[in-house]
C-alpha cells in the first residue's frame, strides 16, 4: 500500500470504508460489476485512501474466510493501489473529540467505524460507505454512498 510522506496532492481525496471495499471485492470475485465497481470507475481522478483500521478489517475478514490465502491475496491486491492513512497523536486527539461529541448526544458508533471516520475527518476528505446511517452521525464528516 502506498503511504506518501505528505497527504497533499492536487487530486481530490476520498477515503474508503470497509463496507465499500467488501462490496468491491465481492463484485470482483463474482466477475459481475455492480454499484461499487461503477463508483470505482467514476473515481479514476481521485486519490483513494483507506485507514489502517479499514485494512485491518479487510485482512481479518480474509483470515476468517473459507479460503484465507486466496482472500488475503485479493485484499492485498486491492489495497496495493491505495494510500494508507496511519494514526498519530493528532489522530488520537481527533478520535477523542469525536467520541466525546457522539457520547454526549447518545449517538456513539462502533469503535472501528469511528477510527475509520477519524482518518477521513483528519484528512478533511469525504468517506465513501454503504453504512450512511452510522457515519452520518460523525460531526465534520462528509459521507458519500454509491
Whether the per-residue pLDDT at 5 is higher than 70: the answer is no
What pLDDT sits at residue 131? 97
Residues pairing with 14 in the sheet: 48
Domain ranges of the chain: 13-144
**Contacts of 1-6 spanning 24+ positions with Cβ under 8 A:** 1/50, 1/55, 1/79, 1/80, 1/82, 1/83, 1/84, 2/80, 2/81, 2/82, 2/83, 2/84, 3/83, 3/84, 3/86, 4/83
How many other C-beta atoms are found inside a 10 Å radius of the C-beta of residue 75?
22
Task: Calculate what percentage of the chain has a pLDDT beyond 70.
Answer: 93
How do 127-128 and 13-16 pair as beta strands? parallel
Tell whether the model's pLDDT for residue 1 goes beyond 60.
no
The answer to pTM > 0.85 is yes
- Dump strand ranges (E) for 5-98: 13-16, 47-51, 83-85
Q: What is the CA radius of gyration of the chain?
A: 15
* pLDDT tens digits along 10-38: 789 999 999 999 999 999 999 999 999 99
- pLDDT tens, 75-98? 999 999 999 999 999 999 999 999
The whole-chain average pLDDT of the chain stands at: 94
Tell me, what's the pLDDT at 2?
Answer: 44
Which pLDDT score is estimated for 11? 83
What confidence tier does 4 reach under pLDDT thresholds 50, 70, 90? very low
- The CATH fold of domain 13-144: Rossmann fold (3.40.50)
Amino acid at each position: 500500500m502506498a503511504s506518501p510522506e505528505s497527504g497533499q496532492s492536487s487530486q481530490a481525496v476520498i477515503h474508503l470504508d470497509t463496507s465499500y471495499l467488501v462490496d468491491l471485492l465481492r463484485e470482483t470475485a463474482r466477475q459481475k460489476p455492480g454499484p461499487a465497481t461503477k463508483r470505482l470507475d467514476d473515481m479514476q481522478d481521485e486519490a483513494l485512501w483507506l485507514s489502517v483500521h479499514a485494512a485491518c478489517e479487510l485482512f481479518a475478514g480474509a483470515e476468517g474466510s473459507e479460503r484465507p490465502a486466496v482472500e488475503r491475496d485479493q485484499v492485498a491486491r486491492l489495497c496495493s493501489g491505495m494510500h494508507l492513512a496511519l494514526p498519530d497523536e493528532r489522530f488520537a486527539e481527533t478520535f477523542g473529540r469525536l467520541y466525546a461529541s457522539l457520547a454526549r448526544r447518545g449517538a456513539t458508533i462502533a469503535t472501528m467505524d469511528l477510527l475509520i471516520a477519524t482518518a477521513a475527518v483528519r484528512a478533511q476528505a469525504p468517506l465513501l460507505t454503504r453504512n450512511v446511517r452510522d457515519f452520518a452521525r460523525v460531526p465534520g464528516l462528509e459521507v458519500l454512498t454509491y
